[in-house]
Amino acid sequence: MAFKDMREFLASLDKAGQLKNVDVPLDCGEGTNELQALMRYLAEINGPGLMLKNLKGYNTPDVPVIFNPFGTRERTGMTIGTADPVEAKIKHARILNDRSTWHKPTMVERSKAPCKDVVIGKDDISVDKQLPHLWIGKEGASYITGGVVVTKDPETGVRNVGWYRLTQLWNCKHPQGGSYTEKEQKKQLSIFAFWNPPMNHIGLHLAKAQRMGKPLEIAVACQCDPAVHMAAATGVPYGLDEYEYAGGLRGSPVELVKCETVDLEVPATAEYVIEGVFQPDVPQQIIGWHSNSVGYYDKHQVFPLFDVSCITHRKNPLWYATIEMMPPFDHNYLALIPIEGEMLSDLQRKIPEVKDCVVTPNMTYIVQLNVDGAHKPHPEFGKYVLHALWGAAGRWPRTAKIAVVVGPDVNPYDLSAVEWAIQTRVQPYSDIIINRSGQAFVLDPSAPKGPQGFPMVGEQMGIDATIKIPERFSEYADVSQADPADVAKIAAKLKGVL
């Protein structure tokens, strides 16, 4: 099912009873907000998506805030047309592998693009008034968390579409006691571009532009059709177009429109579009505190600034806000399908014995095989799969800090079952790989940090939790476990009794 925009997706959630309008007053001010507590409560109860309409300490009270729309695996699957999270992952992996299913985007005229309803030119830019600002937890800044970011390779012109966080410096609390200029607060934004050294695609574009002494244009489309967000969060190989992949996910081309001040294209039905330019000798600024996806605050990080040249938005626009925190949280689930899909598509292409790949909210990677014991194709097959995982395509598998390989009788979604396999099929010295020179997950607080405030190198552990036939045994004890089909029959027989 293709959604025209974020509004159609929200309507589908509403129809499914998965969206609630909230008029209760809630505080979103810096240092006093209630939104982190709300996010945790929703995670604990598998709560619905919310439309917050009565926020205190909010600079744009007429703009409702979308909160927790992706907060379960089921709702995340709905973004690409299926409420079954396993089906959604398989669909994601299948389309990622088969480029014949992708659709090239189409262009629409400016008059037919809702994102052009209101246009604010460069001379009138003042982001403190024209962009929503709200704070969550102990974060020192108001972050833009719903922005699909477009840049082009300054050498080849190839487009990249990624989902990156931006920092708004208006009323931002400087993490080291400094201050931000009026220009930084009202005319500029900072973006999580890891460019020195490059560690994401926008970082690669920016690094190239800086070496060439050229400006780099940027466009940020906020709150798009969620399939566009899903594609932007996926590690599509460099040089391929995420808009085309989004077309495959949604089953029809993404409609784009030209920007006003930069030579870039954005989804025509976005709620907001922010256009800008990174200048040569790009200025950088210290930002923080930032709550990250592994559940800790980054006290400070250093990121580049760009000049805002135009803001456009729809009539009666919507805004999206979230916080990364101790998992699970809202878009934590939206991140899992792309990571799992990337890994599954790559591993199954090389190793047909891979049945499933699961990433937990805390980023433990689990690979399930369809063979085990004597049926494995060769000795130490589990370790072979671990190395293949760390060498898989995409941005994320190479950063897997803890990875586990299990057989077909171990449910990779059940951490108790995975723990059981580790306890009964693993000898710690013989069956665990320690890699001391892996690529660190960029937000791992336990790894040594570089000058920009994030780690580049870390240690990794791979656990081969398969049965060690033929490596160690010629036979293995039978598993004592009820057949799932028999359990289902008993459940049906006792329905209404227990």
For 72-93, what is each residue's pLDDT tens digit? Answer: 999 999 999 998 989 999 999 9
Domain ranges of the chain: 6-320, 351-487
The pLDDT of residue 484 is above 70: yes
- Residue in 221, 220, 246 with CA at minimum distance from that of residue 233: 246
- pLDDT in the model for residue 333: 86
For residues 444-459, give the mean pLDDT: 83
- pLDDT in the model for residue 14: 97
Q: Tens digits of per-residue pLDDT, 251-268?
A: 999 999 999 999 999 999
Q: Which amino acid makes up residue 294?
A: V
Q: What percent of the chain has pLDDT over 70?
A: 99
Q: Tens digits of per-residue pLDDT, 390-434?
A: 999 877 899 999 999 999 999 999 999 999 999 999 999 999 999
- pLDDT in the model for residue 213: 97
Give the tokens for residue 483: 């057949």
- pLDDT in the model for residue 233: 92
Confidence of residue 452 (pLDDT cuts 50, 70, 90): low
- pLDDT in the model for residue 198: 82
- pLDDT in the model for residue 2: 79
For residues 140-149, give the mean pLDDT: 97
Per CATH, domain 351-487 is 3.10.20.30: no
